[in-house]
Amino acid sequence: DVQLQASGGGLVQTGGSLRLSCTVSGFTFKDYAIGWFRQAPGKEREGVSVIATDGKSYYADSVKGRFTISSDNAKNTAYLQMSSLKPEDTAVYYCAANEFIGILTMKGDPDGFDYWGQGTLVTVSS
């Protein structure tokens, strides 16, 4: 079974930092692109960041310069380091994986990902 487990969410003040983790099992981690997405109440799910198997990355404009995506093949885990957090970053954050790395995948489009984990809530207080 393919499983993705996101963790690391919590409550943080504006300007603070959090690191999310996405631990995967059931597939060869290094062969898959990993994406981070978020969904705020009443809004559509949006792509935040993606890391491809060759290390190339994508960031949404809203998080560029503040968030950093990385991966550790030995631990089958991807990370999203979030800094300078803003109240508008409040959302449930999800990680996802896809073997085929196409245009949708690297644009952070949810339709470009086949496997999803449960979310972890990030709340940024003002």
pLDDT tens digits, one per residue of 103-126: 999 999 999 999 999 999 999 999
For residue range 43-76, what is the model confidence (pLDDT) as tens digits? 999 999 999 999 999 999 999 999 999 999 999 9
Region 92-102 average pLDDT = 95
Distance, CA of 82 to chain centre: 10
Structure tokens at 5: 């487990």
3-state secondary structure of 105: helix
3-state secondary structure of 84: coil
pLDDT band for 26, please (50, 70, 90 cuts): very high
Q: Tell me what the pLDDT averaged over the chain comes to.
A: 96
